[in-house]
Amino acid sequence: MSEQNAPGSAMALPPGPIPTTPVPFESSLALGLLTDMLRIRRLEEKSAELYGAGKIRGFLHLYIGEEAVAAGVMRALKPEDAVVATYREHGHALLRGVTMRSIMAEMFGKQEGCSRGRGGSMHLFDAKTRFFGGNAIVAGGLPLSVGLALADRLQGIRRVTACFFGEGAVAEGAFHESMNLAALWQLPVLFCCENNLYAMGTALRCSESQTDLRAKAAGYCVPAQAVDGMDVVAVHQATLAAVEVVRTGQQPYFLEFQTYRFRAHSMFDPELYRDKAEVDRWKEHGPIHTYTARLKAQGMLTEEQFQALDAQIGDEVDKAVEYAENGSWEPVANLLRDVHTPAGGSTA
Amino acid sequence: MSRTSYREALREALREALQRDPHVFLMGEDVGKYGGTYAVSKGLLEEFGPERIRDTPLSELAFVGVGIGAALGGMRPIIEVMTVNFSLLALDQIVNTAAALRHMSGGQFSVPLVIRMTTGAGRQLAAQHSHSLEGWYAHIPGIKVLAPATLEDARGMLWPALLDPDPVILFEHGQLYNQEGELANDMVVDIHSARVRREGHDVSLIAYGGLLGKTLEAAERLTADGIDAEVIDLRVLRPLDDATLVASVGKTHRVVIVDEGWTSGSLAAEVMARLVEQAFYELDAPPARVCCAEVPIPYAKHLEDAALPQVTTIVAAARAVCGK
Ligand SMILES: Cc1ncc(C[n+]2csc(CCOP(=O)(O)OP(=O)(O)O)c2C)c(N)n1
Ligand SMILES: [Mg+2]
């Protein structure tokens, strides 16, 4: 059972010391977490490039800098659990098991994409992995996750729904109403708040009277804990413990991951609201290089192994791009498809 | 005359309003430090300070409701809702309070509130960021709905909207912000009439907002078919200026209505109904409309293009009503 942080023991923002302690996981998990983070990073670096080239359009929100959160959480979930995410969800979809190539094809708008080209970057969906999107309305996914958990409860199925959202969402009524219902009905929802300190250009301190987000959960009697979201070890450990509470106790839990996005909010953001020194300070906590350094220090990883892993991921990215390039455009004759479910059920 | 853009014209209108009336303030998400989501309010924070260029949390219901309260309390708030899509979170305050308050208080309380929001599709933003719900808002008694489609209206509509004692919603189409042109320095516009943007005799093309440009282009193309089209810009979506529409149809006897909203229950449907009611015997052909296909807006460009009214589909509809 995981301990809540005591009030007042808030992790100071910006985060505490860069973690250097040995990674307490066996090799396959330890290297798996690295692989996970690196796959997100390389996928998104390529996506940014392809946006510049006009292959990807619309809004593109990168997760670069925040990879430890998705990596640490996803490995604490089971295949039967459900995941609800936001428009900044490439990493969540990927680590949930949506293939890189179907994500890339989706961003190209091709019918081989995971949402058949209808959704784009902000609306990745995948029924097979119980990945319920890709919601671009801030806080829009929270009630949905409570409903998924309610459905499980009503059908006597014991599994967990993990709901990701940014700290900006806590200002919305939907957040408060969802927390209350989840607690009132004791539903198994893991609320994963990705606190990257900004909602577009609005800093947390400029938008919340109470910046300790755990206090909000506590207001609804939902246990809450703050976690260094730049440290994949801390994320994974905290999530394992929280998921255990949610699964066995069949109750909600709130995790606040303190993290930072290294890139602009979207591809249109001139970043007038923060200075470069702040970004650089957070980059020192970069989840991939700090973790890699720890693995190397304890002899779990050599530079050659890292290079080989990176090359292998680079290859996966290249293949995904090739797949997307070779994909096809859905015929315009299909325009009105899937507005309603056809007789006989789903077309998915 | 001076060269400007739709975005700059909106900004100038805001600046003028803030300078003219100390009761005016701008409030919304990322209007200040971020510089405005579409850069409309860029620089205003530095000029007018954080009290009057007020950043809000992600709380659409609350800050629109607070705007209503501030208006009741004697201020002249301009509320920016980032896009019409997010205005749905504030719909309750707009419809159940702002629009109804004057009436349900027996005429005691007016709500002099201006709400600005971006609307429309065309930028591959997919189903949750591409709505055109102007027609929905135009359904509601108690509010005025404006759709500036030109630089003059972008520059000129805000001040009369602020002078209006009741709630006014201004829809800025996302495709218009970069539109550039010449603007007279001392222009004044009204917020009650539709405008003939191009005179013609063979068919009336009625449009508004983001589709005015495509409709004017369609009118030019129609000359090749020997069709002389008149183009009307609705400008004011509620209350509609029936007289201008009826006069045009009385001249051309044929009409095509162009609307980015979905066909069913659209503003185009309302315009068509009025013309049938008021100008039925003037019509030489059934009225036609070009609207958005009845599908949430798809991400893929070719599908989004196919869903939206285009110059070619407007031309085709105009030809058909003209029997060509
Ligand atoms: C209801 C609603 N209002 C406004 C927006 C526009 N918007 C998109 S992302 C965003 C910032 C959200 O910040 P946060 O929740 O912290 O998530 P982050 O982008 O930092 O991951 C805003 C204001 C939106 N998508 N939905
Ligand atoms: Mg954030």
Query: A123–B127: do the CB atoms touch at under 8 Å?
Result: yes
Q: Are strands B180-183 and B2-5 parallel, antiparallel or unpaired?
A: antiparallel
Which among A172, A174, A329 is the nearest to B302, CB-wise? A329
Note the CATH number of domain B2-183: 3.40.50.970
Asked whether residue B305 carries a pLDDT value surpassing 70, the answer given is yes
Q: How many domains are there within chain A?
A: 1
CB proximity under 8 Å: B 30-59 to A: 30, 33-35, 37, 55-59
Average pLDDT over residues A287-312: 98
Among the four given CATH numbers 3.40.190.290, 2.60.120.200, 3.40.50.920, 3.60.10.10, the one describing domain B195-321:
3.40.50.920
Contacts of B307 in chain A (CB under 8 A): 335
- Is B38 close to ligand 1, i.e. is its CB under 6 Å away? no
Instruction: Report residue A15's pLDDT band, with 50, 70 and 90 as the boundaries.
Output: low
Task: Kindly report, residue by residue over B61-87, the tens digit of the pLDDT.
Answer: 999 999 999 999 999 999 999 999 999
Q: Which of A93, A74, A79 is closest to A29 using CA atoms?
A: A74
B301 contact A CB<8A? yes
In a domain, A343, yes or no: no
Counting ligands in written order, the one closest to the CA of A139 is 1
In a domain, A6, yes or no: no
pLDDT for the residue B244:
98
In a domain, A22, yes or no: yes
- Cα atoms in the Cβ-side hemisphere of radius 13 Å centred on A46: 25
Residues A132 and A125: their CA atoms lie apart, in Å, by 6
Name the E strands within A87-218: 131-135, 161-166, 189-195, 198-199, 202-203
In a domain, A341, yes or no: no
- Is B29 close to ligand 1, i.e. is its CB under 6 Å away? yes
In a domain, A328, yes or no: no
Average pLDDT over residues A300-311: 98
CATH of the domain at A110: 3.40.50.970
Asked whether residue A96 carries a pLDDT value surpassing 90, the answer given is yes
B264 contact A CB<8A? no
Asked whether residue A4 carries a pLDDT value surpassing 70, the answer given is no
Contacts of A171 in chain B (CB under 8 A): 57-59
Residues of B designated catalytic? 60, 129
Residues A135 and B15: their CA atoms lie apart, in Å, by 35
- Is A169 close to ligand 1, i.e. is its CB under 6 Å away? yes
pLDDT for the residue A344:
81
Joined tokens for residue B265 = 């229950």
Which among A106, A168, A339 is the nearest to B295, CB-wise? A339
A232-249 helix and A67-74 helix, angle to the nearest 10 degrees:
40
Taking CA atoms, what residue in B is nearest to A331?
B303
Q: Are strands B255-262 and A253-258 parallel, antiparallel or unpaired?
A: unpaired
User: Looking at the DSSP assignment, which residues form a beta bridge with residue B290?
Assistant: B258
Average pLDDT over residues B298-324: 98
Asked whether residue B248 carries a pLDDT value surpassing 60, the answer given is yes
Structural domain that includes position A107: 14-323
B306 contact A CB<8A? yes
Q: Which of A268, A313, A220, A201 is closest to A58 using CA atoms?
A: A268
Total residues found in chain B within this entry: 324
* For testing contact with chain B, the best of A86, A204, A272 (most B CBs within 10 A): A272
- Is A197 close to ligand 1, i.e. is its CB under 6 Å away? no
Joined tokens for residue A85 = 């995410």
Counting ligands in written order, the one closest to the CA of B56 is 1
Average pLDDT over residues A74-85: 98
B240 contact A CB<8A? no
Name the E strands within B94-202: 114-119, 144-146, 168-173, 180-183, 195-198
Q: What is the mean pLDDT of chain B?
A: 98
pLDDT for the residue A268:
86
Asked whether residue A9 carries a pLDDT value surpassing 50, the answer given is no
User: Looking at the DSSP assignment, which residues form a beta bridge with residue B206?
Assistant: B232, B257
Taking CA atoms, what residue in A is nearest to B294?
A336
- Is B58 close to ligand 1, i.e. is its CB under 6 Å away? yes
Instruction: Report residue A8's pLDDT band, with 50, 70 and 90 as the boundaries.
Output: very low
Residues whose CB is less than 8 angstroms from the CB of residue A152 and which lie 6 or more positions away in sequence, other chains included: A158, A159, A161, A188
pLDDT for the residue A347:
53
Query: A273–B34: do the CB atoms touch at under 8 Å?
Result: yes
Average pLDDT over residues B199-215: 98
Tell me, letter by letter, the H, E, C secondary structure of A247-307.
HHHCCCEEEEEECCCCCCCCCCCCCCCCCHHHHHHHHCCCHHHHHHHHHHHCCCCCHHHHH
Average pLDDT over residues A302-310: 98
Which among A110, A173, A273 is the nearest to B33, CB-wise? A273
Taking CA atoms, what residue in B is nearest to A169?
B58
Task: Kindly report, residue by residue over A182-210, the tens digit of the pLDDT.
Answer: 999 999 999 999 999 999 999 999 999 99
pLDDT for the residue A167:
98
Taking CA atoms, what residue in A is nearest to B297?
A118
Residue B294 CA to ligand 1 centre (angstroms): 27
Query: A122–B126: do the CB atoms touch at under 8 Å?
Result: yes
Asked whether residue A151 carries a pLDDT value surpassing 80, the answer given is yes
Q: What are phi and psi of B2, to 5 degrees?
A: -145, 155
In a domain, A340, yes or no: no
Chain A residues at the B interface, defined by Cβ less than 8 Å, are: 57-59, 106, 109-110, 115, 117-120, 122-123, 135-140, 168-169, 171-174, 199-203, 206-208, 269-270, 272-273, 329-330, 332, 335-336, 339
In a domain, A4, yes or no: no
Query: B302–A120: do the CB atoms touch at under 8 Å?
Result: no
Residue A145 CA to ligand 2 centre (angstroms): 19
The domain locations on chain B are 2-183, 195-321
Joined tokens for residue B185 = 């320095």
Q: What is the mean pLDDT of chain A?
A: 95
ipTM for the predicted complex comes to 0.94
